[in-house]
Amino acid sequence: MKKNIILFALIAPLFALLLTATKFYYHLSLSSYSGPSVEFKIKPGEAFSTINYRLKKRKLIDNSKIFHRYCQLNGLLKKFKSGNYYIKKGSTSLDIIDSFLKGRSVAPKFTVPEGKNIYEIGKMLERKKICSYKKFVAAAKDNEFAKTLGVKGKTLEGYLYPDTYRFGKGTPPRQIIKIMVREFFKKVNRLDLAMSPRQLHSLVTLASIIEKETGASFERPAISGVFHNRLKKRMRLQSDPTTIYGIFEKFNGNLRKKHLLQKTPYNTYKIYGLPHGPISNPGLESLKAANRPAKHKYLYFVSKNDGTHKFSRNYKEHIQAVTQFQKNRKARRGKSWRDLKKSVQ
């Protein structure tokens, strides 16, 4: 009897220790975060208790007591580094602790709006101290590099998909471009266009013009229809944004008659058909519009000064629209394309 008592006295603590160790192992190594990937920020000087509380409240960890006890036993209560962290679905508590200790914070968000060209994106990247403007533009213009990424054009203009990314300071330009081009092909593949690289390049070129011609999403198919109609009739596209792109690095923001008369591979007042290549990086809606233009007989459009356009079937109607909306000062007074956002909200 005494032997059994002694044996129990020896085994019971070991069993309790085993249960505790198993519980720790389960909550730290096996149980994982099941929600969508999220960003979690640790502020400079933030107390461990606050971090622990917020992790539990957001259900990023399932047992705050064990999380605290583990960190306490391992002397980690003051070792977490401040920063923005990206906690992925499937992360265990140990994964989270490891990230906080090593300071693997995520890079800040970098958003590329629809319609920006390689020069504008390069300037944005340099302002954020992510990479050099000159190096980015040089990489984006590298024809051999473009070929390795499956791009038919001579530059990567048009294939840098406008979206929100995370690039840390000092990220190499080619790495940035690879990520953006990969995102472009992901989006395009979902459209199931089944086009050759040459056909896709023409589509992207047209989409890039549509993107620059209107900020009204509902107008994009109609704008596309105008350009398709003009191309069928072998009319010049006569698009100001293409002309500007041809002289972009020297352009001061004021488009003059001399610019319209200057022959460049992008001046659609002087050349027939599509320009040399894309003039911006279009979003998905412009790509869709280029692929599926609205069916109509319009050949012209002119700004109504509020972000939308007046469409005309012939030159006579177009001149009347120009007189009504552009030559009439009252029609322009107090109006802006920025009003478009207010009207659609």
Identity at 83, one-letter amino acid code: G
Identity at 167, one-letter amino acid code: F
- Two structure tokens written together for 291: 């692929």
Q: Is the pTM of this model over 0.75?
A: no
Over range 310-315, report the average pLDDT.
96
Q: Which residue has the tokens 């020069």?
A: 119
- Two structure tokens written together for 14: 């070991």
Q: Residue 283 pLDDT > 70, yes or no? A: yes
Q: Residue 1 pLDDT > 80, yes or no? A: no
Question: What long-range pairs does 26-29 form, CB within 8 A, spacing at least 24?
Answer: 27/61, 27/62, 27/63, 27/66, 27/67, 27/93, 28/66, 28/67, 28/70, 28/92, 28/93, 28/94, 29/92, 29/93, 29/94
The pLDDT value recorded for residue 17 is 57
The residue extents of the domains of the chain are 30-61+68-106, 109-191, 211-344
Residue percentage of the chain with pLDDT more than 90: 62
Confidence category of residue 12, pLDDT binned at 50, 70, 90: low
Tell me the pairing of strands 300-303 and 309-312: antiparallel
E-only strand ranges, the chain:
38-42, 83-87, 109-111, 164-166, 300-303, 309-312
Report whether 246 contacts 267 (CB < 8 A): yes
Residue that wins the pLDDT comparison between 159 and 153 = 159
Return d(Cα 7, Cα 40) in angstroms, integer: 49
Report whether 87 contacts 58 (CB < 8 A): no
Over residues 163-186, the pLDDT tens digits come to 999 887 788 999 999 999 999 999
Q: Of 10-14, 138-142, 247-251, 280-284, where does mean pLDDT reach its minimum?
A: 10-14
The pLDDT value recorded for residue 336 is 47
Over residues 116-151, the pLDDT tens digits come to 999 999 999 999 989 999 999 999 999 999 999 999
The enclosing H or E element of 324 equals none
Return d(Cα 196, Cα 259) in angstroms, integer: 34
Q: Please, which residues bridge with residue 110 across strands? A: 165
Over residues 82-115, the pLDDT tens digits come to 888 888 888 999 999 998 998 777 777 899 999 9
Q: At a CB cut-off of 8 Å and minimum separation 6, what does 242 contact?
A: 209, 266, 267, 268, 275, 279
Over range 59-82, report the average pLDDT.
92
Q: Residue 15 pLDDT > 70, yes or no? A: no
The pLDDT value recorded for residue 6 is 57
Tell me the pairing of strands 83-87 and 164-166: unpaired
Q: Please state which CATH number belongs to domain 30-61+68-106.
A: 3.30.1490.480
Return d(Cα 319, Cα 12) in angstroms, integer: 96
Q: What is the CA angle 318-262-206, rounded to 5? A: 60
- Two structure tokens written together for 226: 């105008």
Tell me the pairing of strands 83-87 and 109-111: unpaired
- Per-residue HEC secondary structure of 38-102 comes to EEEEECCCCCHHHHHHHHHHCCCCCCHHHHHHHHHHCCCCCCCCCEEEEECCCCEHHHHHHHHHH
